C-alpha cells in the first residue's frame, strides 16, 4: 500500500508512482501494465482513482490503451515522463529553491559544488 501525502491529489501520486516504476524499469516501454482493477488491488485504493491516474498518463503519452488487450507503456514513455517532470520542476520547484539560495546568500560556486557532490553521491 502507498502512503499518500495530504498535499497532493491521490490520483497524481499514483501517476507519479507509475512513472517512477517506468523509469526504474519495473514496467518496460511497450510492455503491458496491470489493469485498473489489478493495480487498485495492489495498492488498496478505489479502481476509479486508479482509472483517473491511468487516464491522466494516457493524455500525456505515457500509457496507451490497446482496446481489448490492455494498457501498455508507450514506446517513448521515459522521455515523456522526464519532459513532464522537468516542466514541473522548473515551474514549481526551482524558483522557490533559487529564492531561498538568494535570501541565504548562497553563492553560485557553493550551489555548483553542492550539485557536483550530489551527483558524485548518486553515481556511487
Q: Where are the domains of the chain?
A: 10-77, 85-123
| pLDDT (tens digit per residue) in 44-61 | 999 999 999 999 999 999
Question: What is this structure's pTM?
Answer: 0.77
CATH of 10-77, one of 1.10.10.10, 3.30.70.3040, 2.40.110.10, 3.40.50.300: 1.10.10.10
pLDDT at 1: 58
**What is the spatial distance between Cα 1 and Cα 38, in angstroms, rounded to a whole number?**
13
Q: What are phi and psi of 32, to 5 degrees?
A: -80, 145
**What is the spatial distance between Cα 33 and Cα 26, in angstroms, rounded to a whole number?**
9
Among 46, 64, 50, which residue's Cα sits nearest to residue 12? 50
Among 38, 64, 49, which residue's Cα sits nearest to residue 15? 49
Query: In degrees to the nearest 10, what's the CA dihedral of 47, 48, 53, 56?
Result: 140
| pLDDT (tens digit per residue) in 51-107 | 999 999 999 999 999 988 999 999 999 999 999 999 888 888 898 999 999 999 999
Amino acid at each position: 500500500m502507498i502512503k499518500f501525502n495530504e498535499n497532493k491529489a491521490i490520483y497524481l501520486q499514483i501517476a507519479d508512482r507509475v512513472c517512477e516504476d517506468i523509469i526504474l524499469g519495473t514496467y518496460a516501454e511497450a510492455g503491458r501494465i496491470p489493469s485498473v482493477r489489478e493495480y487498485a488491488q495492489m495498492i488498496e485504493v478505489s479502481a476509479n482513482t486508479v482509472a483517473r491516474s491511468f487516464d491522466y498518463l494516457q493524455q500525456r503519452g505515457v500509457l496507451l490503451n490497446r482496446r481489448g488487450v490492455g494498457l501498455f507503456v508507450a514506446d517513448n514513455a521515459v522521455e515523456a515522463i522526464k519532459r513532464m517532470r522537468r516542466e514541473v520542476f522548473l515551474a514549481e520547484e526551482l524558483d522557490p529553491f533559487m529564492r531561498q539560495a538568494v535570501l541565504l546568500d548562497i553563492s553560485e560556486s557553493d550551489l555548483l559544488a553542492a550539485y557536483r557532490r550530489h551527483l558524485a553521491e548518486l553515481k556511487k
